[in-house]
């Protein structure tokens, strides 16, 4: 009986620990900057830590977001910085990003399977929105200084409906948020189709139902 109780206790501890680690696990020390091994022989759920004796202030600074990335066919660039590029983020459950958009640019429908995203507009006027699991659209126009949140795992988009370039900074509550997008190759990417897509997104209003969240349903927005 005592053996059974011990086994049950060990199973309970292991199970609850796994449950708590479904999201990024809590860090067990003050800092744990990433170290990139020359040859990875052990694969873990995360990144290995630097020798504490070798940690410097430089590990907690990055200039990765000082310049925009390359624009895609939608006139937008998304640049992400995770613990792989920014060592000081390791074990903190955070990553950051920068989005730059042309005057009529679009960040196409996508979602992050492991993170909620908060965007902060630093330039321009944007239309940001997401679709929930009840197929309802929530969207708002954002000005400089405004903040908008995209809940974890929900399809969302950003449209620059203004007359100037726009920039937004993103923060994610995971050091590896992931990105699943409806790629440009999925749909007709002619100029006419892209303009039609932008008009359809701009015409959506809160409470409007998208057909469904399956690929054919989302395709109805793009067609």
Q: What is the pLDDT along the chain (223 residues), one digit of tens a residue?
A: 555 555 544 444 444 444 444 457 676 678 888 887 666 666 666 788 889 999 999 999 999 999 999 998 889 999 999 998 999 999 999 999 999 999 989 998 899 999 999 999 999 999 999 999 998 889 999 999 999 999 999 999 999 977 899 999 999 999 999 999 876 545 555 555 566 666 666 665 444 444 433 444 455 554 4
> What is d(CA 73, CA 85) in angstroms, rounded to the nearest whole number?
26
> What is d(CA 92, CA 86) in angstroms, rounded to the nearest whole number?
11
Query: Is residue 20 annotated as involved in ligand binding?
Result: no
Sheet containing 76-81: give its strands across: 76-81, 95-101, 166-172, 117-123, 147-150
Nearest C-alpha neighbor of 206 from the set 140, 118, 147, 153: 140
Asked whether the beta carbons of 139 and 127 are under 8 A apart, the reply is yes
**pTM for this model (two decimals):** 0.76
Q: Which stretch of DSSP H or E encloses residue 99?
A: strand 95-101
Question: Is CATH 2.60.120.10 correct for 59-222?
Answer: yes
Nearest C-alpha neighbor of 177 from the set 39, 109, 104, 84: 84
Categorise residue 203: left if φ over 0, alpha if ψ from -120 to 50, beta otherwise: alpha
Query: Is residue 117 annotated as involved in ligand binding?
Result: yes
């Amino acid at each position: 009986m005592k053996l059974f109780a011990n086994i049950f206790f060990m199973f309970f501890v292991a199970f609850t620990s796994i449950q708590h680690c479904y999201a990024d696990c809590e860090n067990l020390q003050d800092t744990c900057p990433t170290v990139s091994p020359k040859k990875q022989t052990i694969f873990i759920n995360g990144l290995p830590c630097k020798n504490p004796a070798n940690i410097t202030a430089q590990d907690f600074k990055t200039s990765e977001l000082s310049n925009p990335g390359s624009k895609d066919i939608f006139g937008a660039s998304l640049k992400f910085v995770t613990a792989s590029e920014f060592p000081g983020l390791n074990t903190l459950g955070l990553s950051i990003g920068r989005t730059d958009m042309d005057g009529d640019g679009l960040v196409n429908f996508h979602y992050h399977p492991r993170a909620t995203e908060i965007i902060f507009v630093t330039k321009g006027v944007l239309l940001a929105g997401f679709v929930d699991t009840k197929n309802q659209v929530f969207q708002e126009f954002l000005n400089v200084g405004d903040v908008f949140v995209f809940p974890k795992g929900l399809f969302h988009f950003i449209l620059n409906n203004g007359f100037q370039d726009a920039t937004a900074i993103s923060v994610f509550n995971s050091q590896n948020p992931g990105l699943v997008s409806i790629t440009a190759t999925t749909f007709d990417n002619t100029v006419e189709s892209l303009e039609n897509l932008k008009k359809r997104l701009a015409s959506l209003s809160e409470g409007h139902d998208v057909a469904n969240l399956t690929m054919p349903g989302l395709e109805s927005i793009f067609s």
